[in-house]
Structure 1
């Protein structure tokens, strides 16, 4: 199958060069090549059946291709956007997991796929706003299309953005299917119990005035869970530096018959017993920026278990959970599985960023450290208490000699432990005792 994907990629490139000769009033065309490499190794917590677990790991590498077309607005009213996605496996080893491609019935990682990703009709409402119908990307407080895999996950439904005043904007969205980043088809939204969620709806607003930025959003995952929250940010310039002060509060609530034990894998619960959720999370974040240096610190506090994931999906071909999907708006979140939003948990994050433009043009470095403590099981009364820590070291480099070619390498480490617990007792939101991951990303973008 590799040869067909290769032929398709070559054909797309030839089409691009042909298109480059067309007048700009036909719209814009962009080609993205996304190379990904994942190296993951971790140890689970000990259980009664497995008191001495061994390390489990995998390697995966894939090339993703996006051909994105954006039309103009004909008659200044209507147009459409479309994207072709293609992913081919470069190599893999170890345990197959649905990170870059789907796991097939034989337990092996799929070779490749190609599909129509985005395809939506867009309509301008004069100067008031815009609506979109069809397959599209999304980016808001509680739901985002990720861009760190070979291709982005994409949603199917309707959305709208509206200008209320010069300072206030609002938006709405309704999605009933989505294409996970590792799959080639648009799937139903389900809980981790594989029960159907009919839709996800979103209403939000953004307010910008002088040095203030305020955002608020409400999300409902129908008959399963609802979430809502608000953030406020204030920028304070002072001499040759800037202070950025942020704060926010977010809440998750059970919202129907679909919310039960097993509907969210991170919940601690006893099957058959009544289950509810009242997760409250609050944060304060301070950033200091001066020239090429940025230093930040944040603290989040949780009362109850704040649920990150809005829904999941299962593949008909293998009948296993393929992906879950949500967005963590807290500055104390990690980029890998652990959310740092457990019941009663306090999370502290420190960040350091530096742009080396005065020494090595295009080079940037980032470091983030998170420590969480005081976590308890949700929906179960016990003495077990959890601690977890995470750090992320990232180097990114935009090659000055090749326009639009970016390299990014990250080393991620996570660990957790439990106090006052017996062997086999754990907090489900702390999935591994120890976890290391290396990520390498190579992105190239060409606009015609």
Structure 2
């Protein structure tokens, strides 16, 4: 099962469709109650219980870390986001803390285990100066220091006890008034430079590292997008120095369906390439995802009808690896940096093996406006997802090229309390079952933890003071 699960991030991107306010289903969004000039404190209890199995590996002695992964943690985030003095300068600061309530040797990225022990930690998660200038039809923002920065092809994940952090500089520019007839057009440009990272499960800000452990000096990334409501275009590119170059192209088409519905069609194409000798060293040590280049095509259709939302997705991956292992589309810029991957078929296991074709169907129902025994159900939603991928792999025992099918079923329940006495409390439960019909794939895959049968339960409780 993939240790870089972005299930919560996908749920908002997948099912929000053309609805602008989808925050109620996104229980990990710390900014949902964030106000300029106020000090905000958020607490999260998270429990992850993952059980994996593979009959073939069991015959060779089993998994070295056992077949049960996860733990229970309590996280605390204290945020201060200042207003802008003279409407131009301010600062952000955050303290993160994670307490261990329970942990197993493989704790699913909940605790800092850089010392070999699963322990809690505390750190200065954010400390950055921000500058802003607002013109008649445009605005510009610059931040430098440590922060939860999303820019270009890099994203800050927030799917554990506390979010990760990046160190560097990010700039954003937005220009309004670039209309096409009656369509209001907005141009957005952002760029960033990062040279340190503090992942969501670690205390220190550390060098960016490749999968083989080699240091990467920095990441430079940018994106440019144009949104005219009925359609949107976006181009993004990022370069990890001497390691890789990732590029994405996105076309989005939107259409209203009556007063309470809409449709969206989105095409995303990702191009990944080696870009230096660090990638070559990873390849030689057997830690590369592909030889020279990989790509991932993702087509998505979404519909919203009143309280119901549906999504249908297709993806195709190419990631040839000629060192005898099964390649995959590596979309990060390092082992400890998370790449921005908005493909709808990325949830839980990534289904991004070389030659893989994947279909996904998802449905969601929001209970806003409904009640049960007089209790309002605003903020309550349920979601179900099924995904199936097919690809070929070489069976090391028979020497034959073999058809492989992997599948995933996932069920999610989220509830954000709207009642006055409980405002700020959100709960979420995710149950995932993953299975693959050929156990040998875990022996030949360049991402073996991503291709073993398993079940997982996650429980989140957030409280915004």
Indicate which of 362, 371, 395 corresponds to 1:351: 362
Query: 1:290-340: per-residue Cα shift (whole Å, max 9, x none)?
Result: 111001100011222421222124xxxxxxxxxx633322111123xx321
The answer to whether the 8 A contact 2:41-2:78 is kept is: yes
| Cα offset, 1:47, TM superposition | 5.0
Match of 1:73 in 2: 84
Of 29, 39, 61, the match for 1:29: 39
The match for 2:182 is: none
Superposed displacement of residue 426, structure 1: 2.7
Give the length in aligned residue pairs: 396
Q: Structure 2 matches for 1:202-241, cutoff 5 A? A: 202-240=221-259, 241=261
C-alpha distance 84-53 of structure 1, shift in aligned 2 (>3 A)? closer
Match of 1:192 among 193, 205, 211: 211
Q: Which moved more, 1:50-59 or 1:113-122?
A: 50-59
CA deviation map 1:165-196 (0-9, x unaligned): 53111000110101111111101001111111
Indicate how the Cα distance of structure 1 residues 52 and 99 shifts in structure 2: closer, same or farther if over 3 A, else same. closer
Q: Does 1:41 align with 2:51?
A: yes
Q: How does 1:80-119 map to 2 (within 5 A)?
A: 80-92=91-103, 94-97=104-107, 99-103=109-113, 105=115, 107-110=116-119, 112-119=120-127
Deviations 1:56-93 (A, max 9, x none): 1034111111111111111111111110111111223x
Name 1:15's counterpart in structure 2: none
The reply to whether residue 374 of structure 1 matches residue 398 of structure 2 is no
Which protein is richer in strand relative to its size? 1
Q: Distance in 2 between matches of 1:222 and 1:382?
A: 39
What is the rounded CA distance, in whole Å, between the counterparts of 1:218 and 1:28 in structure 2? 35
Matches within 5 A, 1:263-342: 267=288, 276-304=291-319, 305-313=328-336, 325-335=338-348, 338-342=349-353
Kindly tell me: are residues 129 and 424 of structure 1, through their superposed partners in 2, closer, same or farther at Cα, counting changes over 3 Å?
closer
Note closer, same or farther for the CA distance 1:41–1:47 as it changes in structure 2 (3 Å cut): closer
Q: Provide the TM-score with structure 2 as the length reference.
A: 0.79
1:45 is displaced (CA, Å) by 6.4
The Cα of 1:265 is off from its aligned counterpart by 7.0
Residue 403 of structure 1, aligned match among 423, 426, 430: 423
CA contact 1:192–1:265 (8 Å) conserved in 2: no
Q: Distance in 2 between matches of 1:59 and 1:280?
A: 32
| Structure 1 position 126, deviation (Å) | 3.7
Alignment check: 8 A CA contact 1:174 1:201 kept: yes
Alignment match, 1:13? none
**SS of the residue 1:258 aligns to:** helix
Q: Is contact 2:69–2:108 with CA below 8 Å preserved after alignment?
A: no
Equivalent-residue separation in structure 1 for 2:107 and 2:75 (angstroms): 17
Task: Provide structure 2 residue ranges, at least 5 long, that are not aligned to the other structure.
Answer: 1-34, 178-185, 320-327, 372-376
41-50 vs 185-194, greater mean Cα deviation: 41-50
Deviates more, 1:158-167 or 1:175-184: 158-167
**For residues 35-70 of structure 1, what are the alpha-carbon distances to aligned partners after superposition, in whole Å with 9 as ceiling and x for unaligned?**
111111102462597176696103411111111111
Post-superposition offset of 1:139: 2.5
**Is the Cα contact below 8 Å between 1:173 and 1:201 reproduced in 2?**
yes
1:158-173 mapped onto 2 (5 Å cutoff) = 158-166=169-177, 167-173=186-192
Bigger mean CA deviation after superposition, 426-435 or 83-92: 426-435
Q: Secondary structure at the match of 2:278?
A: coil
| Residue number among 268, 271, 275 corresponding to 1:248 in the alignment | 268
Q: RMSD across aligned C-alpha pairs, in angstroms? A: 2.6
> Residues 386 and 427 of structure 1 are in contact (CA less than 8 Å); yes or no, is this contact kept in structure 2?
no
